[in-house]
């Protein structure tokens, strides 16, 4: 009886671990990004002040930031690249926000707010 209970308990535990992904983390995006884009993303640490600093450092003069600096953006991930433009997804609280960022001469030349999920 004890052996049967142990076997059933072990099987159930393994089934739960397998169903929950076995502790594997979320895979990183396989999209190639420029060094500048990677450096910009490294600054997005969950504080709006960091977003402001990153936009000042990597944005061209007079850049319309589409109020990107109003959000505490973190966990940046590039979903797709199209030439010198990247579709960026970041977590902000319980939502995910998307932006299309285009680069020119090592600086962000335009930002398009693609909304949130």
The pTM for the full model equals 0.74
Pick from 9-13, 21-25, 75-79, 102-106: least confident: 21-25
Which domains occur in the chain, in start order? 25-116 (3.10.450.50)
Q: Which pLDDT score, from 0 to 100, does residue 30 have?
A: 78
Distance between CA 5 and CA 49 in Å, rounded? 55
Per the listing, tokens 């932006």 go with 99
Which pairs with CB-CB distance under 8 Å and at least 24 residues apart come from 83-88? 84/34, 86/31, 86/33, 86/37, 87/114, 88/41
pLDDT in tens, 60-97: 999 999 999 999 999 999 999 999 999 999 999 999 99
């Amino acid at each position: 009886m004890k052996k049967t209970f142990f076997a059933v308990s072990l099987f159930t535990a393994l089934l739960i671990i397998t169903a929950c992904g076995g502790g594997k983390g979320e895979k990183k995006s396989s999209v190639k990004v420029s060094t500048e884009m990677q450096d910009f993303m490294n600054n997005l640490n969950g504080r709006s002040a960091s977003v402001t600093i990153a936009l000042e450092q990597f944005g061209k003069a007079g850049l319309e930031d589409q109020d990107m600096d109003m959000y505490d953006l973190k966990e940046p991930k590039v979903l797709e690249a199209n030439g010198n433009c990247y579709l960026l997804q970041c977590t902000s609280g319980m939502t995910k926000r998307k932006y299309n960022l285009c680069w020119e001469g090592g600086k962000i030349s335009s930002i398009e707010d693609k909304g949130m999920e």
